[in-house]
Amino acid sequence: MAERGYRSPVREKHAEDTRRTIVEAAAALFAERGYGRTSVAAVAAAAGVAVNTVYTSVGGKPALLIALAEDGIADEIAVEMDGRVAASTDPREIIGLVADATGRVRRRRQQTLAVLLDNRDADPNVAAAADVAVKGIRDRLAVVAARLVEVGGLREGLSRKKVEQILWFFFGIEAWRTARGFGWSWSEAGSWLAEQAGRALLP
């Protein structure tokens, strides 16, 4: 009889904590020094681990970028929003949930997004990671759009694709960056974006 593999919860948690520390260190260094001027050795030093640990836990610099993007997609705030949107039958409430969650995730992940989006034209690895981040956000908003169409109560003639585009226009990366660039607070930006999205989507 083949032996069953043993998975230690303690060991797995330690591995996940190590990975998180490495990715957070990479995010800070990429933002401070830029992707090109940050070495894996510098990431290891900032994370307090050996260089080999960075490679075995996450990978080289391109893998660190992808990890940053994927961690943003899997943010617990966004995942919680998924469940609440799926449970809601009120289109206005759904719009409010999206405004709240996207704003909170942007606030938490603004450093990472700045690294990816501000440097995407300078390096193909950064561009690839930025594409992962953008696709993750758009895919999530596409699910919200499908839910809104399913729930009903939208303006007449809006297709699911159009709803998805409207959600991206008001809650995508550039919408938040623009509002914040005006000097608006996160709360002010979220309230305005939710109101305008409601006007575009609801009768």
Closest CA to 191 of 84, 91, 99, 98: 99
What pLDDT does residue 1 have?
Answer: 46
What pLDDT does residue 10 have?
Answer: 78
94-124 tens-digit pLDDT? 999 999 999 999 999 998 998 898 888 889 9
What is the residue type of 188? E
What pLDDT does residue 14 have?
Answer: 84
**Rounded CA gap, 33 and 147, in Å?**
41
pTM: 0.89
**Rounded CA gap, 101 and 76, in Å?**
10
**Rounded CA gap, 116 and 202, in Å?**
34
**Domains defined along the chain, listed by start:** 9-59 (1.10.10), 71-201 (1.10.357)
Q: In sequence order, what DSSP letters do the residues of 79-119 get, joined into one string?
A: HHHHHHHHH---HHHHHHHHHHHHHHHHHHHHHHHHHHHHS
Segment (H or E) for 185: none
Phi, psi of 122 (to 5 degrees): -95, -20
Six-digit token string for 187: 């709360």
How many C-beta neighbours within 10 Å does residue 9 have?
Answer: 7
18, 29 contact by CB (below 8 A): no
Closest CA to 186 of 77, 49, 90: 77
What is the residue type of 184? W
Ranges of residues in the chain with a pLDDT under 70 are: 1-7
What pLDDT does residue 92 have?
Answer: 98
